[in-house]
Structure 1
Amino acid sequence: MKPTLLVRAVSSCVAVALLSIASFAFADDVSFGQNQLCGLQTTRPDHNAAVHVKTLQGRNGPIGYARFGHGTPLLLITGYRATLGEWNAYFLGELAKHHEVIVFDNRGVGRSTAVEGRYGPDYDMRDMAADAADVLAGLKLSRADVIGWSMGGMIAQRLALDAREQVASLTLIATAPPGPEAVPLTPAMQHVLSSSGADAFPKIMSALFPANAVADASKCFIGDMFAPRGYTGRPVSDAVAQQQDRAMTQWFANASAADALRRSPVRTLIVAGANDDVLADANARHLEQMIPRAKLDVVANAGHALMYQYPIALARHIEAFVSK
């Protein structure tokens, strides 16, 4: 090839590469506008006296759950040290306009606490995914759309691998893939999220929300939590928190799960906060590259707890995906 032609060819390749990079950087960016924290005047299911937490029997013990709404079933899996009460009530209410919504406590948490206070000496994402499958089986649901937030997104990925016939679609919010490509929580962040005492709440709020949303989040977070009548989430024991830590550590080392996800047939929506200080949005981009039928949306000015910052907008965004 003549030098002039070689230069032109290289220039063309560089231009195409730059265009691809630009498209990758901006095509999946979305904005939900102003924060929707505080003062929402819309339906929340926990104001309905008929909505309360029941238990069903899973293979490893009782599982606490709540079920409400009308439509196709939507199973939500919550995150690290969280009870089903940590979901934003307005987010759940918006989803319940089009779906039968099912929320439950992960093992060792809330009402999913065995009589002896534990579920065995060691368990991982696969075991917690089996619990999620038991919720569907106990409610006689053969299939559901599944939403997982944070650690719950890891459980949801495992569920899609182990019981794919039960997962109609997958929505992964502020979570991370398995294997060495993941960017784990830093030890400092893990310490903040597991902290307790008088100064724990402001630290956790600062971890979950961008700086410009922390003040409103601090005022409204507790009041906006899902609080069905008669339900109080028991404090998460140190033993359970440590076990969840170990489960996440194993997840970040699970290369075989990463390989399996690369062959997953499940239609997947990945939603990440551009300002997530807990699990960096680089995790979402790795997930997008890993899962064949994945769509990624990175939300501007959003932190880790997107369902509190944008409960209505996020619920509608998920509904648009699920209903396709």
Structure 2
Amino acid sequence: MIASLVRAVSSCVALAALSIASIAFAGDVSFGQSQLCGLQTARPDSNAAVQVKTLQGRNGPIGYARFGHGPPLLLITGYRATLGEWNAYFLGELAKHHEVIVFDNRGIGRSTPVAGHYGPDYGMRDMAADAADVLAGLKLARADVIGWSMGGMIAQQLALDAPGHVESLTLIATAPPGPEAVPLTPAVQQVLSSSGADAFPKIMSALFPADAVADASKCFIGDMFAPRGYKGRPVPDAVAQQQNNAMTQWFANTPAADAMRRSPVRTLIIAGANDDILADTNARHLEQMIPRATLDVVAHAGHALMFQYPIELARHIDAFVAK
């Protein structure tokens, strides 16, 4: 949500140990002190060999990066976000045990056709098809899939349309389809769509709990994944509007909600207890909806959990995937 808006700075806070509760996958968990700001641990973009490439999807080019070793993990990012808006330390921790694949959603970053647009209308199903094209283009039959925010909606649609390609599903700070969801408020939507000099502090205040905003504002950009030669382009208004439309349709998609109630995919749902963008009520609806779902609500966490707790969140997901 931020890369196209600002470029900024850095500072530091310590690493917390993985709590016993975080391995239990039951109810509320705590990851301890926020880990915002330039951790002294591996980040994949420090390796010059990690670069963004493109593959050809059914509807145009798709920009992606892959790194690490082990079972594949496909990460799907959120509204107006490029692949650069994953926390680099979160990705580095995941890459210790997995081949990590991140990519730009349709119309974002390197996933932009020469003509500059993908046609008049597309929704979650189309963006899920793009995710499936990434797997096919990299010749991966199956992958564990992680979706954050709007990316969690795309991930759910991918699990519905191609369950044979989804080994497990991890849904971070997202919402179910259908009328039981609690959508973004118009005020929040306006903040996330904002641009200009005052956009960055507004977005930081939406993404993080109040007492984490100062550190986040110092360190968010410096902790973003920044592979050599990759620059996130400004998100066209038409693409942002198309993503808005896709989410509006998602919150009215009763057939998808019915289908999720029959999903065979093992699912971990992770929510922030202080998420002001997509309330943790959404996570509780998801837990009730998906048959093989487990919910963890993270104490003192906002919408951008992977920036607050990059190491602990990655380890928590890795423990789930490995079960």
The one-letter code matched in structure 1 to 2:43 is: R
Q: What CA RMSD, in Å, does the superposition of the two structures yield over aligned residues? A: 0.8
- The residue number in structure 1 matching 2:148 is 149
Match of 1:100 in 2: 99
Distance in 1 of aligned mates of 2:180 and 2:303: 19
Aligned residue in 2 for 1:193: 192
Separation in structure 2 between the aligned mates of residue 97 and residue 119 of structure 1, nearest angstrom? 36
Question: Residue 10 of structure 1 aligns with which residue?
Answer: none
1:210 paired to 2:220: no
For the residues of structure 2 that align with 1:201 and 1:112, how far apart are their CA atoms?
A: 24
Which position in structure 1 is the counterpart of 2:17?
A: none
- State the partner residue of 1:291: 290
Unmatched 5+ residue regions in structure 2? 1-24
Q: Does 1:132 align with 2:131?
A: yes
Which residue pairs with 1:3 in the alignment? none
Q: Partners in 2 of 1:293 and 1:75 — Cα distance?
A: 20
Mean alpha-carbon deviation: is it higher for 33-42 or for 142-151?
33-42
* C-alpha deviation, 1:262, in angstroms: 0.2
Answer yes or no: is 1:300 the counterpart of 2:299.
yes
2:38–2:222 CA contact under 8 A, matched in 1: no
1:172 aligns with 2:171: yes
Flag structure 1 segments of 5+ consecutive residues without an equivalent. 1-25
Q: Which amino acid in 1 is paired with 2:291?
A: P
Distance 1:98 1:235 in 2: 33
Matches of 1:84 and 1:38 in 2, distance apart?
A: 19
**CA distance in structure 1 between the partners assigned to 2:151 and 2:316 by the alignment:** 19
TM-score by length of 1: 0.92
Residue in structure 1 matched with residue 281 of structure 2 by the alignment: 282
C-alpha distance in 1 between matches for 2:237 and 2:279: 25
Which structure carries more relative contact order (alpha carbon 8 Å, separation 6+)? 2
User: What's the CA shift string for 1:31-61, capped at 9, x where partnerless?
Assistant: 0000000131000000001000000000000
CA distance in 2, matches of 1:39, 1:257: 40
Question: Structure 1 stretches (4+) deviating beyond 2 angstroms?
Answer: none
Contact 2:125/2:158 (<8 A) preserved: yes
| Pairing 1:228–2:227 present | yes
2 CA distance for matches of 1:257 and 1:289? 15
Contact 2:44/2:88 (CA < 8 Å) preserved in 1? yes
Q: Which residue of 2 aligns with 1:312?
A: 311
Cα deviations across residues 200-228 of structure 1 (Å, max 9, x unaligned)?
A: 00000000000010000000000000000
Deviations 1:205-254 (A, max 9, x none): 00000001000000000000000000001000100000000000000000
Instruction: Work out whether 1:48 is the aligned partner of 2:47.
Output: yes
The alignment partner of 1:222 has SS state of: coil
Counterparts of 1:109 and 1:214 in 2: how far apart (Å)?
26
Percent identity between the two aligned chains:
88
Counterpart Cα distance in 1 of 2:188 and 2:36: 23
Q: Which amino acid aligns with 1:223?
A: G
Rounded Cα–Cα distance in structure 1 between residues aligned with 2:129 and 2:138: 14
DSSP 3-state at the match of 1:148: strand
Deviations 1:85-137 (A, max 9, x none): 00000000000000000000000000000111011100000000000000000
SS at 1:118 equivalent? coil
Match of 2:78 in 1: 79
Alpha-carbon distance in 2 for matches of 1:139, 1:40: 31
**Residue 27 and residue 162 in structure 1: after superposition, are their counterparts in 2 closer, same or farther (change >3 A)?**
closer
Which residue number in structure 2 is paired with residue 34 of structure 1?
33
Match in the other structure for 2:112: 113
For the residues of structure 2 that align with 1:28 and 1:119, how far apart are their CA atoms?
41
Q: Which secondary structure does the structure 2 equivalent of 1:35 belong to?
A: coil
Structure 2 CA distance, aligned partners of 1:188 and 1:108? 24
Name the amino acid aligned to 2:312.
A
What TM-score do the two structures reach when normalised by structure 2? 0.92
